[in-house]
Structure 1
Amino acid sequence: MRKLETPFLASALFMMSVAYAAEESPPRLLTEPVATDVMVRVVAHGAMVLGDEVGGARVTITDVATGRLLASGLQLGEPGDQNQIMRTPRLMEEPRYSTRPSGSFHATLHLDRPTLVEIAAQGPLSYPSAVQRASKTVLLIPGRDLTQDGIVLDLNGYIVQIENPPPGESLMAKDDVKLKASVRMLSGAPVRPHGDWDSRKATIYGEVLIGDRVIERLQMLYAGEKSSFEAPFFVPSPTEAPHGIALRVVAADGAGANFGMAQANYPVLPEQLRPAKK
């Protein structure tokens, strides 16, 4: 019986080795450019994909040797499945962002040789004050497509917006005003206590400035609404702030490597201009 098995085993091993060699054999010599698909995903660091909600991201692919722009365009689409991205355990090689529909940028390049490229992205495009940029250098091989998650570019930061008082609005001297701001991940995901993006891990504070001088620092607390934080402050007099004041809100998570800021200017009116009570 053992003699009968030996030829069969040898034949099977031979066929497997042929198949493996065929799979791993180098591509044929190129006589013309070969279409090569490149998938890029721009994501908020520690969060979701930059999609339509935040204006997406701009992506460029540049030949490092020549400086020639090979492809450019916008990443648009959905931010992805929060449960899959944030809560599902996976092996390192398993895709994170492409298991469900999510925003991406796709380009087909025609390459006639291995090409070193720089892939760069900036976003979120709907929030210019929060825009960040990231890039990677990647060697592309003709005919070897980049699929699934593709090249993932992380953008670090927060979208911080001052909501009250509205930027540029005149403030009355000596008034007690509530500073209110929203803080979100660059993908638009909400920052709040006990959430996937836990505000307790970040320091969120406000500052009142006269010129470049900080005259008061405010501890901003969660306002009970999605991504909203607030703190009260007193408006200084026009004598103290003849050119008005600035309000600054900072969100900082050193461990998570995300930082964001918003700032707005406000004229200060003297108390004498306060409308008389009827």
Structure 2
Amino acid sequence: MSRPRFIRLIGTCLLVLLSSAGAAFTPEPSESELDSKTRYNDPLPTTVLVRVVAHRSLVLGHDVGGARVTMTDVASGQLLASGLQQGEPGDQTQIMRTPHLMDEPVYSARPAASYTATLELTRPTLVEITAEGPLAYPNALQRASTTVLLIPGHDLTNDGIVLHLYGYLLQIEHPKPGEPLIAKEDVMLRASVRTLSGALVRPHSDWDSRKIHIYAELLIGDQIVERLQMFYAGEKSRFEAPFFVPIAKDAPDGITLRVIAADTATGNFGMGTAQYPVLSERLRPRKN
């Protein structure tokens, strides 16, 4: 046998021996590695924070009754969590006046109301998050929802998932709803206008009433018989306009006053209504 051929044969044998030795000494997986693999399908706690805010305003806190938040598994329809958002409306300067970069917190930089739930998830889950509020004002109740893909073990905190509710809180303060009105009397209509978070609407404020169309309508049945432009009354968030009560025979079932606030720039609209009987007598009925 020639020397080169002999050397090649020896090299092949050594390669086979080394391969066999390597296979023989492959380390077995450790107990910790085996244990981690068996836990791949275990549920992982996943914390989700939700904030319900009035659009272009503050967070819905205890001043307006907060908001109700629900989380539902989109695929199965199973309710995953439900609860109330309570707390402070947040820092007005930080939210309304301070410039922010995209990744900077807006609502969580200072104490502000929120709702937090910890879900036990075993897989990526598409969740519908729904908010309703403000709970202290059922006539102004608004609803918003969004869908979010949640990943087990990956928390959503800081500002969290922010849901915006559109609208205004409008309350007729005078005359009191249901109070009998005397025909042909000159009455001053007064109403308050606030954002859904309870912030005051007034001139030269963060919620400038000069940019909002605030007016009232007097209705008999379902027909508008007069439209009234309302003006700031000089205190808090009150607006007013005078009107004449129609004669009783023209309004046998009474009248309705409807106050409207409309801001087309922000998409915020609100309405408050009240009904009143109309009396032809000059004297108001005695109170019991």
| 2:148 counterpart (121, 130, 138) | 138
TM-score of the superposed pair, with normalisation by structure 1: 0.88
Unaligned ranges ≥5, structure 2: 1-35
Q: Which residue of 2 aligns with 1:124?
A: 134
Percent of paired sites with the same residue: 69
- Amino acid aligned to 1:57: A
Q: Which residue of 2 aligns with 1:184?
A: 194
Separation in structure 2 between the aligned mates of residue 244 and residue 58 of structure 1, nearest angstrom: 36
* Counterparts of residues 30-69 of structure 1 (less than 5 Å): 30-69=40-79
Q: Which residue of 2 aligns with 1:265?
A: 275
Separation in structure 2 between the aligned mates of residue 274 and residue 58 of structure 1, nearest angstrom: 43
- Amino acid aligned to 2:144: A
Separation in structure 1 between the aligned mates of residue 225 and residue 42 of structure 2, nearest angstrom: 67
- Amino acid aligned to 1:186: L
Q: Which residue of 2 aligns with 1:205?
A: 215
TM-score of the superposed pair, with normalisation by structure 2: 0.85
Task: Quote the offset at 1:272 in angstroms.
Answer: 4.3
Task: Quote the offset at 1:271 in angstroms.
Answer: 3.5
* Counterparts of residues 1-278 of structure 1 (less than 5 Å): 30-273=40-283
Deviations, residues 126-185 of structure 1 (Å, cap 9, x unaligned)? 000001000000000000000100000000000000000000000001100000000000
Separation in structure 2 between the aligned mates of residue 51 and residue 247 of structure 1, nearest angstrom: 29
Task: Quote the offset at 1:274 in angstroms.
Answer: 5.4
Task: Quote the offset at 1:273 in angstroms.
Answer: 3.9
SS of 2:63's equivalent in the other structure is helix
Deviations, residues 110-133 of structure 1 (Å, cap 9, x unaligned)? 000000000000000000000100
Separation in structure 1 between the aligned mates of residue 150 and residue 171 of structure 2, nearest angstrom: 39
Unaligned ranges ≥5, structure 1: 1-26
The count of residues paired between Structure 1 and Structure 2 equals 249
Task: Quote the offset at 1:92 in angstroms.
Answer: 1.4
- Amino acid aligned to 1:236: P
Task: Quote the offset at 1:31 in angstroms.
Answer: 2.6
Q: 1:79 to 1:112 in 2, by over 3 A?
A: same
Separation in structure 2 between the aligned mates of residue 270 and residue 46 of structure 1, nearest angstrom: 46
Q: RMSD over aligned Cα, in angstroms?
A: 1.3
Maintained 8 Å contact 2:180/2:284: no
Maintained 8 Å contact 1:174/1:271: no
Task: Quote the offset at 1:63 in angstroms.
Answer: 0.1
SS of 2:159's equivalent in the other structure is coil
Maintained 8 Å contact 1:205/1:220: yes
SS of 2:96's equivalent in the other structure is helix
